[in-house]
């Protein structure tokens, strides 16, 4: 089961006159799935849940290879289209699961961040523009050189977003069942599969 540590029963709602706006950032990873289900458990009936897909971008080394192979941007543009399409499908998949779990359509919003190397910055901009009260992100355990060059998405949100940020740790795979949809397998804890 995913671990969630919250500062009090509910995060500090800076806008007490309205339901909370909750964002969950997803990318199809197991840690994002855990964050999604934690956000569903955290959400109250009147809260609005934003499902925000963070596209996996074409890495800088791959762009260098593409540049050397072809002096035009066509392969990179095509890769970006595929990434964007997958990102939009992912949002639809999570929206469907949310509705199956009883979240009314009026309390759901979905979007994809642009395909960019600046996903962390775009996520902070999203939280600000939508007046998000609490954001859920998975802990991917990025370390070593990856963290040095890419940085941690969750760490960046904690340091730069104006809202509260809940970092959800991934539970051991042995504790999970799974369901399969068009976006792939989504692991569920025993509690979530009931």
Chain segment 24-45, per-residue pLDDT in tens: 999 988 999 999 999 999 999 8
The arrangement of strands across the sheet holding 134-138 comes to 108-112, 48-53, 21-26, 134-138, 164-168
| The most confident of 75-79, 125-129, 139-143, 175-179, by mean pLDDT | 125-129
Q: What is the CATH number of the domain that holds 75?
A: 3.40.50.620
Of the listed ranges 42-46, 88-92, 177-181, the one predicted with least confidence: 177-181
- In 45-132, the DSSP E strands lie at 48-53, 108-112
Domain that holds residue 71: 21-189
Task: Give me the number of domains the chain comprises.
Answer: 1
Average pLDDT over residues 45-65: 75
Average pLDDT over residues 56-69: 52
Pick from 32, 69, 30: which is nearest to 185 by CA? 30
Domain assignment present for 92: yes
Global confidence as pTM:
0.72
Domain assignment present for 194: no
Measured CA to CA, the distance from residue 31 to residue 36 in angstroms comes to 9
Domain assignment present for 99: yes
Q: What pLDDT is stored for residue 123 in this prediction? A: 95
- The maximal CA–CA distance of the chain, rounded, in angstroms, is 56
Domain assignment present for 143: yes
Domain assignment present for 125: yes
Pick from 50, 24, 25: which is nearest to 107 by CA? 50
Q: What pLDDT is stored for residue 26 in this prediction? A: 94
Under 8 Å between Cβ of 26 and 49: no
Helix 60-69 crosses helix 74-100 at what angle (to 10 degrees)? 140
Domain assignment present for 13: no
Pick from 115, 37, 48: which is nearest to 80 by CA? 115
Domain assignment present for 14: no
Under 8 Å between Cβ of 116 and 57: yes
Q: What pLDDT is stored for residue 43 in this prediction? A: 95
List CB contacts of 100: < 8 A, sequence separation 6 or more.
none
């Amino acid at each position: 089961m995913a671990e969630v540590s919250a500062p009090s029963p509910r995060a500090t709602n800076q806008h007490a006159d309205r339901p909370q706006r909750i964002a969950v950032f997803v990318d199809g990873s197991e840690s994002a799935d855990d964050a999604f289900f934690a956000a569903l458990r955290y959400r109250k009936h009147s809260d609005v849940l934003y499902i925000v897909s963070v596209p996996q971008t074409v890495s800088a080394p791959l762009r260098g290879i593409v540049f050397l192979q072809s002096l035009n941007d066509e392969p990179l543009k095509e890769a970006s289209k595929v990434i964007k399409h997958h990102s939009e499908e992912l949002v639809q998949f999570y929206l469907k699961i949310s509705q199956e779990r009883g979240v009314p359509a009026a309390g759901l919003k979905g979007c994809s961040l642009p395909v960019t190397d600046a996903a962390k910055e775009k996520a902070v901009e999203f939280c600000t523009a939508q007046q998000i009260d609490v954001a859920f992100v998975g802990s991917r355990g990025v370390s070593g050189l990856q963290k040095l060059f890419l940085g941690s998405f969750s760490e960046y949100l904690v340091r730069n977003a104006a809202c509260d940020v809940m970092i959800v740790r991934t539970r051991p795979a042995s504790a999970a069942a799974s369901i399969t949809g068009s976006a792939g397998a989504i692991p569920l804890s025993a509690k979530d599969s009931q």
